[in-house]
Chains A and B, each alone.
Chain A
């Protein structure tokens, strides 16, 4: 441990910048009132998403031709090159960010204003703060590794170009999601990753089940998006947003040339008015309440561009905004009064912030596979395994966690929202882990484990331990990517077999895969030898210590207990998968792929994967070890590197969360840690006893003894079936009702109208039988008929044209008097 501490100090010093010693007692600075977020303008951040975008476009447009003419290596090298370039640029940005003073660590790259409508101002602006920097490094680093791995994994697929185009497109979207400085860009990315997930799950779209899994993922995510968008609307409304343009901007300021925020924030605000919320600017004066600010700002309410001067000389632009930085400033700077306004607002009797938080979280439950919208993720395993590793474990599914951490200043204001998040996370963690107990498909085990681990992350961000949740996101990205890629290696080695009952004994055939899988198992099951222990333990401790951050102080303890039991289960099912796969004798069907299989020359025996794959596994395993030091606690008073790194981002919520905590003593922390280690050992021992070398008969006996329970869990508690019977049935019923309505009422009405029309026409002697068509055809025919009539006017005779011109002019003269 002493050695570890030394390494940790070294990492810490590196992160602090050259030679600067670790500062103690940062707490005091934190307690001081928060000011406006300072930032640095840079011009190169756009390059990071640009490279994968170019890779995606080139491969999508000419990839097929390139592949045909020059072979696959051109396509794959292009994609990998794009990732490498993105990673290098991200590293440059990291160095730049580290060079900034701690509380000014925000790089902003404004490109252009996409559109402005009413108060909605959407800018193409990228921003990197410590949190998004961490995400970008994870995405580009692990993304690059997985690209390399995919070369081997997809070697036999003819559509390599399509796969890599999708993969690059995904990375582009994911980078957009985390780098966007506003909700619009985040939502673009949010939808983009959803699309890529759909495309990649259904990559082998000729298999109907895979195509169905893709559709399921897409539709489930759309349900979540609906909640997310509602939350956004509500928040925007609460900040004073409206559609109509308010006529307060002086004429010369309304020029679109000013729509560049670089000018807009300052110039518009100055051209409008700068309002001093605190005229004396003295620390003794209590900050102005919202009501006073409003009175000062304008008679009708907030205006776009009105800004409030803060005590330290900064300026906060108040009013509706989509920018994270502006939102943070409004809420974090007390004297704007925005925080008071938001906490006081209700929406149909419900506290608005809780509602906003819960709606945004609904979006997160779909993207990050939480109850009740987790059902798509296990099915998403239909996609190629590198996709499962990159999208459905390391990056995309953590978008919800990232979103909550990004908006920590908002979520921390509502303990109701925090409670909902933490409880959902805990329930999901336990629920998914229990399904993982009995699954036989190795990827399904990992899928449920991912759902469960995401639950842990939500416990973390739910109880206000944003850094711990984020740290678990990072460690999970490494160990779960390693596990998934390991399982991919196993699947490839066993000739596309995913059933663990048909594996066994692979240690002999795939030594490197086995070692990395073993280490990743150590990480996820929570032995203090790998990164997973440190992040999970921190989350559990913070949950135990949650206190008044949750609706009931006792709730934290309950969540801790649930997490603790889940940890036991996690250790058990992960070790089960390890022992089933790698120990004992190979149970695979010999010669199962006797004809036409590319692996035919190996006979039926498993084989180790190519180096490009195993080395990636090794790199990830090393990552699992090295990331320990990001979360390792030091001597008293020194926080872990990552916590310190994220501190500027989390500062707005820090004091609030800390004040509500239960403040349990260090003894409790040590006891809990011991309990964590105990469950890791317990789970491991149980799995070893039951599954090592496939000798024990207990599992079979148990399954036989409780067949219904086993069946029930094996079939995932029949949630899919329940959804089919309830939600989908309701949707189908609604669709049928609409169909019926359409056929009976609408068509009936149309037909009735048509009948009446025909009757009238018959009576009249006028023949206009075209009315009998349906309503849509009627409109179309009407349009075409109108067109024909117009054509008839266009006789081709010049004199008619001239009559029309003169008569038209006359008509316009008359019209002039009409419109008056």
Chain B
């Protein structure tokens, strides 16, 4: 019997989220207190980072409370290494998004408090997504992240693109949530519970029952269709969060319209939480351990193959659509779609090493993608434009930013000795270790896609280093941005060579509550 705590006892394990919720409120109030201060941005940034630091400390505290995975709130949430890993990741990406927003001109100084408080609320949502085992809780987590994100996407009130982005996001998100809820209602009908722990056994029992003699073929067929439809619709909700084909179309428009610091956040944070959820549902709940460390799919729903096909489509569509983009934010949006495809390879591997490679890749992706958006923010800060035209001759106008951008882009391509290579290597390795014919095919598709992606990444590098700038004016880069860039470049370089610790960290976090 798995240990599950009641509501009162669970509170002792819920400190991080409680701190963040209180912190979000507190930042709103603090905003009023420092409203007149000329250094309000600094104060708000410090306060928000303080809240996140407290949450991180609380996370390590609660993680230490129970050595084994434990269920909370009567099974709505869990506390296991997988959840803890993604909590840390969420705090980190939130902190970086707040740091980026400070000097950015897109987040007006008088609205900084609002921005920070809303981001802290999203962080709570991401944490809930990563740690829920109950379908209801999952919906709440996803909705919390989505709702606040809608507001943040439309943060530039008088900007048409920003408002358009917010509106599209709301409607699209609403439909996607609806599809997910619809699927969940089916699943509840079929399995008799909203809790996902033990789903594999229930699905197997269901399949066995339908396969019994005496059950009419039509009934059995309908039962199977219902199961498949339910699973696919639930996946639509997750697919919308991670922006995978065919639920990716909101992504370029929203990324383009949203303020750049939030776009940076959106491309990493909710995506990571979505992957945490995907692995928890698919690998954690819908598979049982097969031989060795590999899991096998259950009950007539061949989700590894389906996810594999989606992964191949996602990376292909993302990369090819990115080829023609001239707007950097749109291009990076498609690039982030492509990366969702790569990471899905790790999910499709349906193995422990696959999940490990997903976790590992998300950490690497956090550094390189946030870094790339940071440079976009730096260039956009001066010119207000994200056109590739602005990047011509950037090496002369902002040399450090140009070099850093080149490092991030090559890392995104997956060239050694950068961190992106390490991440991709492990994704491919997880898939190839699995060894079937479609897995190998998918790996080859992934490799070809990497080659395609080099084209549009290298195009920017070419523009930055070989083309003549349209103006000689130097781009002033705030010192804090330079520091941040330096730190991110350093991490990308270091993890490109030394990644043993990261790998072990990712490996030890693949412990999911209820997965046997």
* Same complex origin of A and B: yes
Residues of A within 8 A of B (CB): 112-113, 115, 117, 245, 247, 249, 251, 254-257, 259-260, 780, 783-784, 786-788, 790-791, 793-794, 796, 798, 800-802, 804-809, 811-813, 815-817, 819-820
Contact B425–A115 (Cβ < 8 Å): yes
Q: How far is the CA of A787 from the CA of B324 in the complex (A)?
A: 6
User: Given A813-B232, A816-B232, are A256 and B353 also a contact pair (CB < 8 Å)?
Assistant: yes
Contact A804 B246 (CB under 8 A): yes
- The answer to whether B433 and A257 touch across the interface, beta carbons within 8 angstroms, is no
The reply on B356 being an interface residue by CB < 8 A is yes
A786 to B425, CA, bound (A): 27
Question: Contact: A809 with B322, CB < 8 Å?
Answer: no
A505 and B446 alpha carbons, distance in the complex (Å): 70
Q: Are B247 and A805 in contact (CB under 8 A)?
A: yes
User: In the complex, are the beta carbons of A783 and B323 less than 8 A apart?
Assistant: yes
Q: Is the pair A794, B302 in contact by a Cβ cutoff of 8 Å?
A: no
CB pair B292 A813 closer than 8 Å: no
Q: Which of B233, B324, B352 gathers most chain A CB within 10 Å?
A: B324
Q: How far in angstroms is the closest Cβ of chain B from A313?
A: 31
Q: Known: A254-B292, A787-B321. Is A808-B171 also a contact (CB below 8 A)?
A: no
Residues of B near A113 (CB, < 8 A) are: 500
Known contacts A115-B425, A783-B323, A805-B246, A251 near B293 by CB under 8 Å: yes
A805 in contact with B507 (CB, 8 Å): no
User: B500 and A260: CB pair below 8 A?
Assistant: yes
Give the contacting residue for A805; candidates B175, B293, B352; CB below 8 A: B175
Out of A247, A804, A806, A809, name the residue touching B292 (CB < 8 Å).
A247
A820-B297 Cα distance, complex, nearest whole Å: 12
Q: Identify which of B168, B225, B301, B455 contacts A801 (C-beta below 8 A).
A: B168
Q: How far is the CA of A820 from the CA of B302 in the complex (A)?
A: 7
Set A245, A790, A816, A819: member contacting B433, Cβ < 8 A: A245
Q: What are the residues of chain B within 8 A of A791 when measuring CB–CB?
A: 321, 324
CB distance from B451 to the nearest CB of A (A): 10
Residues of B near any A CB (own CB < 8 A): 167-168, 171-172, 175-176, 179, 225, 228-229, 232-233, 235-236, 240, 245-247, 249-250, 252-253, 289, 291-293, 300-302, 305-306, 309-310, 317, 320-324, 352-353, 356, 425, 429, 433, 435, 452, 455, 498, 500, 503-504, 507-508
Could you tell me the distance between the alpha carbons of A703 and B427 in the complex, rounded to whole angstroms? 69
From A247, A783, A798, A809, contact of B232 by CB (8 A)? A809
Q: Out of A257, A790, A796, A805, which one reaches B253, CB within 8 Å?
A: A796
Complex CA–CA separation, A809 to B237 (angstroms):
10
Q: A256 and B503: CB pair below 8 A? A: yes
B292 contacts A801, C-beta separation under 8 Å: no
* Chain A residues with CB under 8 A of B229: 813
Whether A112 touches B498, Cβ cut-off 8 Å, given contacts A805-B246, A805-B249, A809-B246, is yes
Whether B176 and A805, one on each chain, are in contact in the complex, defined by CB atoms closer than 8 angstroms, is yes
Q: Give B253's nearest chain A residue, CB to CB.
A: A796
CB pair A808–B247 under 8 Å, yes or no, is: yes
Query: What is the chain B residue whose CB lies nearest that of A112?
Result: B500
**Pair A117/B228 contact, Cβ less than 8 Å:** no
What residue of chain B has the Cβ atom nearest to residue A779's Cβ? B452
Q: How far is the CB of B169 from chain A (nearest CB, A)?
A: 10
Set of chain A residues within 8 Å of B309, measured between Cβ atoms:
815, 819
Query: Given the complex of chains A and B, what is the CA–CA distance between A817 and B305 in angstroms?
Result: 11
From A784, A804, A806, residue with most partner B Cβ within 10 Å: A806
The interface residues of chain B lying within 8 Å CB-to-CB of A815 are 306, 309
Once bound together, how far apart are the Cα atoms of A509 and B353, in whole Å? 72
Contact partners of B249 in chain A: CB under 8 A: 793-794, 800-801, 804-805
Are B305 and A819 in contact, CB atoms less than 8 angstroms apart?
yes
**Contact assessment for B321 and A794 in the assembled complex, using a CB-CB cutoff below 8 Å:** yes
With a cutoff of 8 Å between Cβ atoms, the chain A residues found around residue B320 in the complex are 783, 786-787, 790
Chain A residues with Cβ below 8 Å from B246 are 804-805, 807-809, 811-812
Contact A256 B356 (CB under 8 A): yes
A790/B317 contact (C-beta < 8 A), A805-B249, A816-B232 known: yes
Contact B179 A806 (CB under 8 A): yes
A249, A796, A801 — most chain B CB neighbours (10 Å): A801
Once A112-B500, A784-B324 are accepted as A-B contacts, the answer to whether A812 and B310 lie under 8 Å apart by CB is yes
Distance in Å: Cβ of A630 to nearest Cβ of chain B: 38
Within the assembled complex, what's the spacing in Å between the Cα atoms of A816 and B224? 11
When distances are taken between beta carbons in the complex, the residues of chain B under 8 Å from A798 are 167-168, 171-172
CA distance A407 to B37 in the complex (A): 72
Query: B507: nearest residue on chain A (CB-CB)?
Result: A256
A805 touches B321 (CB 8 A): no
Is B507 a contact partner of A809 (Cβ separation < 8 A)? no
Do A816 and B500 touch across chains, with their CB atoms under 8 A apart? no
A260 to B507, CA, bound (A): 13
CB neighbours of A819 from chain B (8 A): 302, 305-306, 309
What is the CB-to-nearest-CB distance from B337 to chain A, in angstroms, rounded to a whole number? 10
A801 pairs with B324, CB closer than 8 A: no
Q: A794 to chain B: which residues have CB within 8 Å?
A: 249, 252-253, 321
Closest to A245 in B: B433
Given contacts A256-B503, A805-B240, A820-B302, contact A813 B250 (CB under 8 A): no
Asked if residues A805 and B172 are in contact (CB atoms below 8 Å), the reply is: yes
Chain A contacts for B433, CB-based, 8 A: 245
Instruction: State how many angstroms separate the Cβ of B21 from the closest Cβ of chain A.
Output: 32
* Bound CA span A806–B249, Å: 12
Instruction: Enumerate chain B residues within 8 angstroms of A816, measured Cβ to Cβ.
Output: 228, 232, 301-302, 306
- Separation of A160 and B228 alpha carbons in the complex (Å): 69
CB distance from A262 to the nearest CB of B (A): 12
Q: Which of A117, A805, A806, A819 has the most CB of B within 10 A?
A: A805
**Minimum Cβ distance to chain A for residue B217 (Å):** 15
Interchain residue pairs A-B with the least CB separation, the first 8: A808-B246, A787-B323, A112-B500, A801-B249, A790-B321, A819-B305, A787-B320, A787-B324
Which listed residue (B235, B323, B507) contacts A784, Cβ 8 A? B323
B17 → chain A closest CB, angstroms: 29
Of A113, A247, A819, the most chain B CB neighbours within 10 A belong to A819
Q: Please state if A783 and B452 are interface contacts (CB–CB under 8 Å).
A: yes
Known pairs A112-B498, A259-B503, A820-B300 / 14 extra A-B pairs, C-beta < 8 Å: A245-B433, A251-B289, A783-B323, A788-B324, A790-B320, A794-B249, A794-B253, A801-B168, A801-B250, A805-B172, A807-B246, A809-B233, A809-B246, A813-B232
Asked whether, in the complex, the Cβ of A255 is within 8 Å of the Cβ of B321, the reply is no
Bound together, the chains give a CA A245 to CA B252 distance in angstroms of 41
Complex Cα spacing A245 to B353, Å = 14
**Of B353, B425, B498, B504, most A-chain CB atoms within 10 Å:** B504
For residue B233, which residue of chain A has the nearest CB?
A: A809
Which residue of chain B has its CB nearest to the CB of A113?
Answer: B500
Looking at the assembled complex, report how far the CB atom of B457 sits from the nearest CB atom of chain A, in whole angstroms: 14
* A813 nearest CB neighbor, chain B only: B232
Closest to B228 in A: A816
Given contacts A257-B504, A819-B306, contact A812 B172 (CB under 8 A): no
Distance to closest chain B CB from A782 (angstroms): 10
A788 to B323, CA, bound (A): 8
- How long is the Cα–Cα vector from A256 to B433 in the complex, in angstroms? 13
For A807, the chain B residues whose CB sits under 8 A away are 246
Closest A residue to B300 by beta carbon equals A820
A793 to B252, CA, bound (A): 12
Evaluate contact between A809 and B179: CB separation under 8 angstroms: yes
* Docked-complex contact A117 and B429, CB < 8 angstroms: yes
Residues in A neighbouring B435, C-beta threshold 8 A: 245
Which residues of B lie under 8 Å from residue A813 when comparing CB positions? Answer: 225, 228-229, 232
> Which residues on the B side are within 8 Å of A801 (C-beta)?
168, 172, 249-250
Most B C-beta atoms less than 10 A away, residue of A249, A780, A794, A807: A794
Residues of A within 8 A of B305 (CB): 819
In contact, A812 and B232 (Cβ under 8 angstroms): yes
Most buried by B among A113, A251, A256: A256
Instruction: Determine whether the beta carbon of B171 is less than 8 Å from that of A254.
Output: no
13 A–B contacts from the bound complex (CB under 8 Å): A251-B291, A257-B504, A257-B507, A784-B324, A787-B321, A794-B253, A798-B167, A798-B168, A806-B175, A806-B179, A808-B236, A809-B247, A813-B229
